[in-house]
Amino acid sequence: MFAKGVRSRAAVVAAHVASVALCLTLAGCHDVLHQPTAVPTDSVTPAESDINLDDAAAENRNRMVKEEFKGHFHVFEDPYGLETLRYFFPESPTLVISDQRDSSKLRAASIAVSQRAPMLVYDESIRQDIYTEMIRLGVDRALIVGRVPMTASDGAVRLIQDPGTTWALGQITAFQFESKVVANRENMARAVAHLDGRTRTELKAAWEPLERLEDEEAVPLPAQSRRDADMAPIVVATEAASVASVANARSYGAGVRMMPTADPRESKVSQAMVEGMEDGPLVALGPEFGDEKLLADRIREGWSEPRPASSVPAA
């Protein structure tokens, strides 16, 4: 009888504790759901009234960043990926080089981010720069995506041609990929920004089929370890950013925040992404940001609450 009573009282206490815990959990969830968001993301874009710029500044400034990035403020137009490659990669045994077709660039970005390798888009104007960077990086294996006028006789680096098939993708990377179709050119940078080195995704252009070179052998391109150690600078971009520049940031391990407008004064969401970063560390990708001074001045000036129409003096 005594044991039964103890068990009964224990059950009541346990039920009471569980009830209190549930109430606290629900209350906590309610509070979290209604807390102002500090820094918006692509997956969470709150109403402007829920964005607290002071909190955003604190979150941005309190990030752990590698010493070599501290105080750096850069705007990279970077159409071919050369500037971001030089900035993020002091060395790399592998490199991905694409021709200028959109389908090739998306395929190259998918492979580069998966294998954490830098990426370049070939242009005759940077031909010598590509060779120079291969030497600086210590590249011993470069994957060619599409038709790039480079041959093995051009240097000591082993050049590998991507056959362009789904089967070859698995042979090159040793991973299984899911396919995702990018609807239009305007979505290319955003799609690449969403790539990561854990869930492999092959991006395909809806408007342009990828050329297949099925007679080519699929040679492995070894994956590298992540470099950033969660200590990359804040990286922002617009839809006008080049595929290669965004891919290089993602291959390094940096997250890329897609700003709705390059001028943070025009959008509270954009301002929150860069609030407090007028002195860096910040990397902005795309031609729409202007130069470093212009962007820093715009961040410093900041977004301001629109005045109600009734409060605007009549002309």
Number of domains in the chain: 1
Cα-based angle 295, 301, 302 (whole degrees, multiple of 5): 85
| Structural domain containing residue 189 | 53-301
Residue 133 has pLDDT above 60, yes or no: yes
Rounded Cα–Cα distance for residues 255 and 234 (Å)? 7
When the pLDDT of each residue in the chain is averaged and rounded to a whole number, the result is: 86
Per-residue pLDDT, averaged over 241-259, amounts to: 97
* Residue at 315 is within a domain: no
Give pTM, 2 decimals: 0.84
Q: Tens of pLDDT along 178-227?
A: 999 999 999 999 999 999 878 899 999 999 999 999 899 999 999 998 88
Burial class, 274, CB count within 10 angstroms (exposed 0-12 / middle 13-18 / buried 19+): buried
DSSP per-residue codes, 214-236: TTS----------SSTT-PPEEE
Residue 103 lies in a domain: yes
In a domain, 166, yes or no: yes
Is 232 a member of any domain?
yes
| Between 20 and 297, the higher pLDDT residue | 297
pLDDT at 214: 87
Q: Which helix (H) or strand (E) holds 158?
A: strand 158-161
Q: Is 284 domain-assigned? A: yes
Kindly state the average pLDDT of the residues 164-177.
95
Please compute the mean of the pLDDT values over residues 269-292 and round it to a whole number.
Answer: 96
Is the residue at 22 inside a domain?
A: no
In a domain, 214, yes or no: yes
Residue 8 lies in a domain: no
